[in-house]
Structure 1
């Protein structure tokens, strides 16, 4: 490398202790101090740039240590997973040796491990334990073939046969409507609207029909319940939907309608019961409806009170008539005595309510106001208080 100063003198830049990347030693610049050209004299290798793609100390095909870069040589020791490992030991130039453990005979454990995994998979997909409240359906290559009853059952391994287990005796319930704040208005038989919410309880009757006859059996149950409820309420008046007896009749009617519909679909569902949770008027008219209910309750109370009074008067009249009949029978036996007895009883009943006392003495009948005298005597005589003398 030549560097000239401002006067045209050459300045030599020495690279002490460093090797030139162009093949020369320290201070080689292609021409010696004596003016000797750098070349291949004395068996020396020609100077020039070193191939960066060759490992240190490797020679080229021509023996000069240089060759053109070849893309095949670059990826010769590489594969899709990265650089290939070569060599034996863990610390060699080829990197660690990743080999599968071997059996004592020198053979690999890999085939045995594969066979064991396959055997476990076959055993896990071929043996099935069905619970006492469960049933299972078996599909062979996607088609239904048979059903499994509770107990230990066997099948072909997956994917030849697949098994689906379901709880058939557990009670499932659905609330309609699903949201408590949502209104479900249904038209009654007397052209009124009622807000109903109810619960339907059901279980699985036939698992094969439940799985393969309808697309979505749960939605089918919900739709059948809603249709049956609307049909039953449409035949009932509004007042009956609020009474306990009317609700019981509606619940029974809805259950029977649902069961007939689901049996017609062959849905494999058994309807256990229907329970009406709420039966209220629409929210827009709830205040007016409550006023009507209060008026009806007051009217019922007045009617009940009138019926009670009528029954009381009637019972009293019937008692008096029976007593008169008994007196008449005695009168027919002894008319004079019965007539005098009636007179005495009547006068006793009348005079017992007055404050007058009549005393008969000979031909004079004086009037003595005894009750009035007794009352005045009580008012004129105040209560006497007895006090002890002082000093005693």
Structure 2
């Protein structure tokens, strides 16, 4: 039978003093359980459950869980168990998990880590369930990059979670295989939800609202693997018009405010039955890494410099990765609801200004940058099965000289 690991029994009594609903933070009785919780993580045996009572708890160092199997880390619920790293002095992450197997994180709020709120690496079987990860106060480029950050993992499930205020991506999965991201909410991040260099990913049933970009599917050079086989469906991607507050040189800094869904240099992506509503600049963008590099020429020196933190940077030497394909291919866009009642694209980005100039009162629903691999045909890149939409081909390889609205060669046969 699974053994339950309860730490600090006295805290269980203290927890009774907290009301069942969220209390005013300014009057919350913040407690310090740092040493005891870290000890519980170190001493846990495989199969243990670590229960954290209801309450407000503050930490000055990262919590670490290494080389464990079948561990449950469980609070009393979102906004009932609150782990705050606002005064963090050591470490970058709030909770860092590495080299584990079958870990369940459930029922708590974690906030204000110096770097990522929760980072999980080299783990086979990681579930985030009913976890809220956020940065409180006004959004800032000083916020951590990722709220929920599994990387180099297998069998990832993120469900019924909330991510707020990330300077890169709220809900992120990178260089991982077999991933499900479902029924989550992402608000006020640069990217609400992002799949990066990952395979066999399903993103569905989520709400991405008031981010810079709602959902991103990226494939970047120089990493351990490339990504493909991504499904993005039945999501609500609405009003992602937040200003871009990514630090200079970060790859997500190229995302224009007002972007619903963006696919960058990824293969075999199926985007269907989403509600893509009132994203001011573009509902759905399909772009290559060549465009990213061109947009970031002034920042390449800074982008290639070493930087503390986990966010991916613009790589001006992407062509040195001989196995990397900078062009998207086999992108299917079908049966989405794409609409935009906003008359003007954002004026916070050059592409928004361009759309306002070229297509006043009618920002595009779908944009393709025009870059293609040698010998590739339009139908191999993009298959669109949508009616009554505004499509724009930027013709970026020719400096926008022949920007056009001709969608016929991209329509699915």
Task: Name the TM-score, length of structure 1 as normaliser.
Answer: 0.15
Q: Which has the larger radius of gyration?
A: 1
Structure 1 or 2: more helix by fraction: 1
Higher relative contact order (CA 8 A, sep 6+): 2
Structure 1 or 2: more strand by fraction: 2
Task: Name the TM-score, length of structure 2 as normaliser.
Answer: 0.15
